[in-house]
Amino acid sequence: MKFECGDLDRALANPDLMTEAREHLRHCATCRNEYRVWNEISTTAKQLHQEWDSPDLWLRIERGIGQEPPRKRPRPQWHAWMFVAAAAVVTAIAFLSWPQLTHVKPPTKSAGQTTASERDFLTEQALRNVEKNEAAYRHSIEELSNLAQPELGSQTAPPIVASYREKLLMLDSAIEETRSIVAQNRFNVRLQRELADLYRDKQQTLEEIVASGQRR
C-alpha cells in the first residue's frame, strides 16, 4: 500500500502503520507538521492542569455542611424488609383466613329453607378453622406491633402517633372484651366477625404507624 497524506490519521490510530508513516514523514513537510502538532498536543495539555490556593474553600464547605439538617440515624435495612414481610403475611392471612367470617357463602338452599342456626352459627369444623386462623392472625399482628414499637416509643414522633397510641389502647381493650365474650359463645358468627373487624382495624393502624416511621 502506498502511504499518502490522508493516511496519517489512520496511522496515528493504528501503531502498525507507523513504520510506513515515518517513511512518508521524511519526505512530506505538511504531514511532518501535523505529526509535530499531534505530539505537542499531549505535551502541552499537561500544562493545562490548574493549581491554585483556595485557603477558604474548605472552610466554606465545612460551613455548608454545618448548615445541613442533622443526619437521620440510619435505619437498619432489615426493618424495611421485615415490614414488607410482616405486612404481606398479615394481609395474606386476612384474605385467606376466616373465610367463614369474611366471605360467608350464600346458602345453597333457598332463603326460605335456611334455618336461623345455619345463618348465625358456625359448624364444629368451621369453628376449628376460625380459631386456628385467628391464632395465626393474632401472631402476625403481634409481629407487626413489634415493628411499630420504635415509632410508638420515639420522643421525636409526630403528634399523630400519640393518637395512634390511644387508638391502639382502645382497640386492645375492645379485642380483649370481645374475645372474652366470644369465649363464652364460640359458635356465634356475628361475634367472630366483630372480633375479625377489630383485628383488621388494629392491623391497619399498626401499618400506618410503621409507614409513618419509614417516611421519617
Partner 1 sequence: MTWEVSVPLQFGTALRDNSTDAELLERCKRGELQAFERLYTLHAARMKSLAFHLLGSRDDAEDAVQETFLKVYRGIERFESNSAVSTWMLRILINCCYDILRKRQRLAEKPMPKEVPAHTKLTLKVALERALLTLNEQHRLVFLMFEAEGMKHSEIASVLEVPEGTSRAWLFEAKRALKQVLTQRSQAHEI
Q: Which of 60, 109, 119, 186 binds partner 1 (CB under 8 A)?
A: 60
Stretch that binds partner 1, among 40-48, 103-111, 128-136, 138-146 (CB under 8 A): 40-48
The helix/strand/coil state of 121 is strand
Q: Which residues 4-33 are close enough to bind partner 1 by CB under 8 A?
A: 9, 12-13, 33
Query: Which residue, 49 or 103, has its beta carbon nearer to partner 1?
Result: 49
Query: Which residue, 10 or 186, has its beta carbon nearer to partner 1?
Result: 10
Q: Which of 1, 2, 41, 166 binds partner 1 (CB under 8 A)?
A: 41
Q: How far is the CB of 13 from partner 1 (least distance, A)?
A: 6
Query: Which residue, 70 or 112, has its beta carbon nearer to partner 1?
Result: 70
Q: Which of 1, 65, 111, 183 binds partner 1 (CB under 8 A)?
A: 65
* β partners of residue 188: 121
Alpha-carbon span 11 to 34, nearest angstrom: 12
- 38 near partner 1, judged by CB under 8 A: yes
Alpha-carbon span 158 to 151, nearest angstrom: 9
Query: Which residue, 37 or 88, has its beta carbon nearer to partner 1?
Result: 37
- 40 near partner 1, judged by CB under 8 A: yes
Q: Which of 27, 58, 113, 125 binds partner 1 (CB under 8 A)?
A: 58
- 62 near partner 1, judged by CB under 8 A: yes
Query: Apex CA 211: angle with CA 164 and CA 134, to 5°?
Result: 70
- 48 near partner 1, judged by CB under 8 A: yes
* β partners of residue 121: 188
Alpha-carbon span 133 to 131, nearest angstrom: 5
Q: Return contacts of 83-91, CB within 8 angstroms, 24+ apart.
A: 83/147, 83/210, 83/214, 86/140, 86/143, 86/144, 86/147, 87/144, 87/207, 87/210, 89/140, 89/143, 90/137, 90/140, 90/141, 90/144, 90/203, 90/207
Nine cell digits for residue 83:
415490614
Q: How far is the CB of 57 from partner 1 (least distance, A)?
A: 5
Residues near partner 1 (CB under 8 A) are 9, 12-13, 33-34, 37-38, 40-42, 44-52, 54, 57-58, 60-62, 64-65, 68, 71, 74
